[in-house]
Amino acid sequence: MFGKKIYYGWYIVAASLLIIILDGLLLYSFGVFLPYINDEFGLTRTEGSALFSYRALIAAPGFIIAGRLIDKYDPRFVIFGGGALAALGMILSGFAENTWQLILFYSVFVGLGDTVLYITCVAVVSRWFTKKRALAIGIITTGVPLSGLLTNPLTATLVNKLGLNSAFIALGAIMFIALLAAFVMRGYPKDIGLKPYGEEDLDDENTSANGTNSNGKNQDWTALEAISTPYYWIMYVMFALAFITFLIIVTQFYNFEIDLNISALAAAGPPAAIGLGSIIGRTVLTSLLSEVLEYRKVLFVCLLAQGSSIILLLTFDQIWAFYLFGLLFGFFYSACIPIFPTVLAKFFGLKAMGTIYGIFGTSYSIAAISAPILAGYVFDLTGSYYYPFLFAIICAYIAAFGTFFLKKPTKKPVQIDSSV
C-alpha cells in the first residue's frame, strides 16, 4: 500500500484518527459523567440529559459554519481553534459552581468547538483519496468507537479517584495535548505538490478527484444542488434516526446499569464493549463487506440488527447480557458512520464536500437535541428505561426501511443559451 515512501495522505489519516478520538471522548464521557453531574448539581434525569441537548442545539448551526470554514480555510487552524475551545470548555466545567455555568462551559463552549473535529477530518480525508477512500474514512471513523473503548473506563476511574471536577480538568488537558496532531493536516494534496491517492491509476473515462472526466463534464455538485435532491434528505432522516437510537443508548446506558446497583467501574465495561464491537465491525463491515456488497444491503442489515440488539436490555438484567449487547450493538452500528459520508461523496462529488457534509451533520444535531432529553424525560415519568429503549429500536427499524428508497441521483445538465 505504501511502497518505498509513505504517501502523505496516510499521515493525514493518522492525525485524523487521533482528532476523531477526541470527538469520541466528548461523546462517550457524557454518559459516565451524567449520574455524577445529577448528584453534584441536584438535577433530574431530564435536566441532566438536557446538557447534552443544549450542546447539540449550539452545534447545529456550528456544523454548517464549520463546513464553510473547511472549504475556505486551512484545516490545521480550523481544527486546533475549535478543539481548543472544546478543551477549554471541559477544563472550565471543572470550576463550575452552578447550573448556568455548567451550561455555558460544558454545553456552549464544548458544543461550538466540537463541531469542527469530526466533519473536518472526513472532508479532508475524502479529498486526499480517490482510491481507498472508503478504507481511509473507515480507519479515521474508528476513532469514535476506539474512544468509547478507552473513554468509559478512563472517565469512570478519574471521577471515582479524583472527583467530578478534577475529571473534567484532566480530560480537557488531555485534549489540548492531543490537538497538536491538527498541524499534520493539509487541505488538499496539491498544497504540497501531490495528487489524490490512486488518481494516477484511473482510466481516462473515470471521474478524477477534481470532478471532471475525459470529456470535461463536471461531476461535482454544489451544496444547493445536492440538498435539492430527495435522496439527500432520505439519507438525512436515516442518519438522524440512526443517531437517535445510538444516543439514547450512549447517554443513558451507564445510568441504566447504575440503577441496577452495578458498581461504577464494573458498569463502565459494557459501554466500552460498544467501542470494541464497533472496532471489530468497522474492520469487517466497512473494509470488507462494503467493498463487496452494495452499500444499501450493508446499511439495511446493520440498522436492523443494531435495533434488534437492544431487545437484550429489555429482556435481561445480568452483566453478561449487557456485555453481549454492547458487542452486538457496536458491531452493527459501526457500518453506518463511514458509509454515509462515502455515499455522499459518491453521489455529489468532493468540491463542496465540506459544506454538503456540514449541512448533513445537522441531522446528528437533531438527534442529539432530542434523544437524551426525551429519554431522560420518559424515565422521570415512568421510572424505567423500557420505553426509551423501545423507541430506540423503532427508530433503527425505520432507518433500515429507508434504504429501499436510496439510489444515486442524476445531475441535470447545464443549459447553454445557443443564441449567445
Instruction: State pLDDT tens for residues 91-142.
Output: 999 999 999 999 999 999 998 888 888 888 888 888 888 787 777 887 888 8
Contact indicator for 335, 282 with CB cutoff of 8 Å: yes
Q: Is the pLDDT of residue 217 over 60?
A: no
Domains of the chain by residue range: 8-190+220-405
Residue 148 has what pLDDT? Answer: 83
Q: What is the DSSP string of 301-314?
A: HHHHHHHHHTHHHH
Q: What is the DSSP string of 222-233?
A: PHHHHHTSHHHH
Q: Is the pLDDT of residue 56 over 80?
A: yes
| Residue 391, CA atoms < 13 Å, CB-side half-sphere | 20
Contact indicator for 147, 171 with CB cutoff of 8 Å: no
**415 — pLDDT class (breaks 50, 70, 90):** low
Average pLDDT estimate for 160-164? 93
Q: Which residues contact 61 (CB under 8 A, 6 or more apart)?
A: 362
Q: What angle (nearest 5°) sits at the alpha carbon of residue 403, between those of residues 401 and 409?
A: 145
* 199-213, 217-231, 245-259, 285-299: range with lowest mean pLDDT: 199-213
Average pLDDT estimate for 373-396? 95
Question: Which residue in the block uniquely carries the three cell numbers 459494557?
Answer: 270
Contact indicator for 55, 276 with CB cutoff of 8 Å: no
Q: Is the pLDDT of residue 336 over 80?
A: no
Residue 287 has what pLDDT? Answer: 56
Count of CB atoms within 10 A of residue 191's CB? 11
Contact indicator for 30, 52 with CB cutoff of 8 Å: yes
Residue 286 has what pLDDT? Answer: 58
d(CA 404, CA 334): 20
d(CA 378, CA 414): 51
Q: How far is CA 212 from CA 39, 128, 197, 216, in A?
A: 58, 16, 16, 5
- 360-394 burial code (b ≥16 CB/10 A, e <16): bbbbbbbbbbbbbbbbbbbbeeeeebeebbebbbe
Which CATH number is correct for 8-190+220-405, 1.10.150.20, 3.40.50.11540, 1.20.1250.20, 1.10.1840.10? 1.20.1250.20
Q: Is the pLDDT of residue 291 over 70?
A: no
Task: Give the residue with greater pLDDT, 59 vs 90.
Answer: 90
Contact indicator for 324, 200 with CB cutoff of 8 Å: no
Beta strand spans in 183-260 (E): none
Per-residue cell: 38: 445529577
Contact indicator for 329, 277 with CB cutoff of 8 Å: yes
φ, ψ dihedrals at 197, nearest 5°: -60, 125
What stretch of H or E contains 261?
none
| Residue 62, CA atoms < 13 Å, CB-side half-sphere | 27
Identity (one letter) of the amino acid at 236?
Y
pTM: 0.75
Average pLDDT estimate for 179-196? 88
Q: Which of 113, 69, 65 is nearest to 87 (CA)?
A: 113
d(CA 306, CA 242): 9
d(CA 85, CA 97): 20
d(CA 50, CA 44): 10
